[in-house]
Amino acid sequence: MHVHAFIEIAQRPPHINNQRPQPTHNTEHDWTMAKKGKGNAGAAAAAAAAAKKTKKSSSSSIGGRKKAAKQAGSTPALSPLSVVLAVLVLGVAVWMGAQWWCSTTLNNRPHSNTSPSADGDTSSDSEHAGDSDPPSLIQHVLDTHSRVDPEHEHSSAVYPRATLAYVTPWNNKGYDVAKRFLGKFSHVSPVWLQLNVDGGRFVVNGEHDIDLGWVADVRRPAPGTNRVAKVVPRILVEGPAMMSVLSPNRDKQQEVLSKLLDVCSRNKFDGLVLELWSRLQISPEIRSALTQLVSFLGDGMRRNNLELILVVPPVSSSFGHADFDKLASTVSYFSINTYDYSAGGTAGPNAPYKWVRSTLETLLRATQRGRAKPEQLLLGLNFYGNLFTPEGGRPILGRDFVTMLAESKDHVTMSWNEGAREHVVKPTASSQPVALYYPTERSIQERIALANELGVGICIWEIGQGLDYFYNVI
């Protein structure tokens, strides 16, 4: 199957949450060139044509010189200096020819995408540093992606701050991961609930997905640590409710709060993750209404010993340090979507390291005023990747990533982008720019180290999409 695995994977339906941008679905490209070796064959043909042309030109030149000498009646004598110069020129020509042949025939690879990244670097191959043997990198992933150190399976010692794990019904593996790695997560957020409007009244939909048996399993004390995860389902505000909840009418706000408290009480949840702020185009009027609503809901839930976690975008113009400061006293944590940087279709890293750092450092300015605390911010980790072709981008899950590497390992290279601090996979021969960015144990470890340095927590979208060896570093 080889590089055709990329085409097959790209045509599979996405499993990314619907509130994030969806790349194009049709991804037809000419990766068969890499499988059939047409790239090198074309270079060889070009070299042969060039050699033939050079030979013909040389023959014409020699014939002209012979004719001129014959007409002159004698052959000019060569001095020793002329002989030395001729040998030097011939040597330089041979060396340059060898270099040209090697660069075109032995290293015939596609041009990399050199669009500037978030940190001013590019994704060209020359800037991938630190890994000198791409085949061994691929084999390392294939050999280790499912291995978990038994000592770390339930331990929370690797990252002791708040760790929020999202679980989605459409990736059932996440339910098993949450139970298997008890102790890794301080909060588990199943994506079950939606807030909408029906007949002019607010309603909570999605309760048919609630699995109280699984909730009980997730709440078991983790072996060796006795850490107990809090279950905080995500509630997505959608449809007409997105604007209805922003009404300054206090009765409307109380109705929303009552719905939230009721669903938590009946199912014994520890709180909720509210997804609203990240879904709206923020204007001064919207910001004011959102701040008032979230403050009211957060205060009401806190008075009932429940936590409210707010999903926020990684854009300071939409959610900045001033917003963090105003809401820090009523919101328990802020889940920041520090990923999807290149999801619009332009090939590039999922979460450039310097961009992630800059986003967090901007929000951390609020902590200088005393109310907001660093540990309330949750750095977002993506456990999915993106495949980029000339037709656009496409989400890739862990199982697809492993399948692609296994079936195409002889036709792709894997290298480390030092600027973005992510691995990228590219075909060894293709006439089109194609790249696959998917997180690895190393890229996850880099971001967890950053979170630890800044004193913030982490959140994961989402644990059903990732690879098991990620949990060795969490």
Residue of higher predicted confidence among 67 and 357: 357
Q: What is the mean pLDDT of the chain?
A: 78
- Mean pLDDT over 41-52 rounds to 37
Non-local CB neighbours of 201 within 8 Å, separated by 6+ positions: 255
Residue of higher predicted confidence among 152 and 44: 152
- Mean pLDDT over 314-336 rounds to 96
Q: Specify whether the CB–CB gap between 308 and 302 falls below 8 A.
A: yes
- Mean pLDDT over 282-305 rounds to 96
CB burial of residue 345 (10 Å; 0-12, 13-18, 19+): middle
Give the span between the Cα atoms of 267 and 306, in whole angstroms: 13
Q: What is the pLDDT of residues 213-230, one digit of tens each?
A: 999 999 998 887 778 999
Q: Is the pLDDT of residue 458 over 90?
A: yes
Q: What is the pLDDT of residue 309?
A: 98
Q: In the numeric block, which tokens belong to residue 306?
A: 């429940």
What would the DSSP string read from start to end of 197-237?
Answer: EETTEEEEE-GGG--HHHHHHHTSPPTTT----EE--EEEE
pTM of the model: 0.76
Most confident of the ranges 4-18, 48-62, 94-108, 380-394: 380-394
Q: What is the pLDDT of residue 134?
A: 54
Q: On the CB side of 414, how many CA atoms lie within 13 Å of its CA?
A: 23
Q: In the numeric block, which tokens belong to residue 454?
A: 């800044």
**Closest by CA position to 333, among listed 438, 170, 185:** 185
Q: What is the pLDDT of residue 412?
A: 93
Q: What is the pLDDT of residues 16-35, one digit of tens each?
A: 444 343 333 233 233 333 33
* pLDDT-above-90 percentage for the chain: 59
Residue of higher predicted confidence among 349 and 93: 349
Q: Is the pLDDT of residue 302 over 50?
A: yes
Q: Hey, what domains does the chain have and what are their CATH numbers?
A: 150-383+440-472 (3.20.20.80)
Q: Specify whether the CB–CB gap between 296 and 257 falls below 8 A.
A: yes
Q: Is the pLDDT of residue 286 over 50?
A: yes
Q: Is the pLDDT of residue 69 over 60?
A: no
Q: What is the pLDDT of residue 79?
A: 55
**Closest by CA position to 460, among listed 154, 168, 160:** 168
Give the span between the Cα atoms of 219 and 189, in whole angstroms: 12
Cβ atoms < 10 Å from Cβ of 317: 7
Q: In the numeric block, which tokens belong to residue 87?
A: 């040998």
Q: What is the pLDDT of residue 432?
A: 76
Amino acid identity at 183: G
Residue of higher predicted confidence among 443 and 67: 443
pLDDT band for 81, please (50, 70, 90 cuts).
low
Q: Is the pLDDT of residue 312 over 70?
A: yes
Q: What is the pLDDT of residues 105-134, one digit of tens each?
A: 333 322 233 333 444 343 443 334 445 455
Q: What is the pLDDT of residue 442?
A: 96
Q: What is the pLDDT of residue 369?
A: 82
pLDDT band for 203, please (50, 70, 90 cuts).
very high
- Mean pLDDT over 97-112 rounds to 35
